[in-house]
Amino acid sequence: MKVANTMFQSLLPLCFILLSLTTKPLLASEPEPVVDKQGNPLQPGVGYYVWPLWGDNGGLTLSQTRNKTCPLDVIRNPDFIGSPLTLFAPNLDYVPTETDLTIGFNVKTTCNQPTTWKLLKEGSGFWFVSTGGEFGALTSKFKIERLSGEHAYEIYSFKFCPSVPGVLCAPVGTFTDADGTRVMAVGDDIETYYVRFQRVDISAQKKEHGFDSA
């Protein structure tokens, strides 16, 4: 009996160690970083061109559409390299996938409004990706999603999918309006628009501000 008690007492510390290991909460893994064409993680506040999957033109920029007034909408211009885009994620020093982001253009415009992206309802089941958004606002929460597959490491798409239950979650694609302008939009029959990111040459990038990140 004495031997049995001694063995039991010697096993107690081991039991407590095993119990502490099995009950320790698991730490959530960090989200995967978005990378540019060279495989480098995107950095918040740095300018990036957003190019279509094939080719280095047809980048994203801003233009007056619909009633030709403000706010400006996000469009694809097939004859233009595009405007520098900046991205921010709360409390992260890199731009992650599948995480709420604030996105905007680092350019001056004729509209006295922020160039932060904002989803703007246009009709039943249809929204334009416009500007005039606010940092942290529900309608300004976009995500970046990586295309799945072994050879799709640097290919991404945007989607409006805030991390809020019951809110619209849909890919961002291209809508061609009556005058042929390719407007970025969310809605029925809008196909996902796949892109790559190219960092702007910092030495050549103008320091223009229109994107309020605070």
CATH number for the domain that contains residue 68: 2.80.10.50
Is residue 129 predicted with pLDDT exceeding 60? yes
In a domain, 183, yes or no: yes
In a domain, 2, yes or no: no
Residue-number span of the structural domain to which 68 is assigned: 48-199
In a domain, 3, yes or no: no
Distance between CA 15 and CA 8 in Å, rounded?
A: 10
Three-state DSSP class for residue 197: strand
The mean predicted confidence, pLDDT, of the chain is 81
Is residue 57 predicted with pLDDT exceeding 80? no
For residue 121, the tally of other CB atoms under 10 A from its CB is: 14
- When pLDDT is cut at 50, 70 and 90, the band that residue 119 belongs to is very high
The whole-number pLDDT of residue 3 equals: 46
In a domain, 14, yes or no: no
Q: Per-residue pLDDT averaged across 37-46, rounded?
A: 94
Q: Element (H or E) spanning 182, and its range?
A: strand 182-187
In a domain, 23, yes or no: no
The whole-number pLDDT of residue 174 equals: 92
Q: How many domains would you assign to the chain?
A: 1
In a domain, 130, yes or no: yes
In a domain, 29, yes or no: no
Name every residue whose Cβ is closer than 8 Å to that of residue 104 and which is 6 or more positions away in sequence.
85, 86, 114, 115, 116, 117, 131, 133, 210, 211, 212, 213
In a domain, 25, yes or no: no
The strand pair at 85-88 and 102-105 is best described as antiparallel
Compute the half-sphere exposure of residue 75: CA atoms within 13 Å on the CB side of its CA: 19
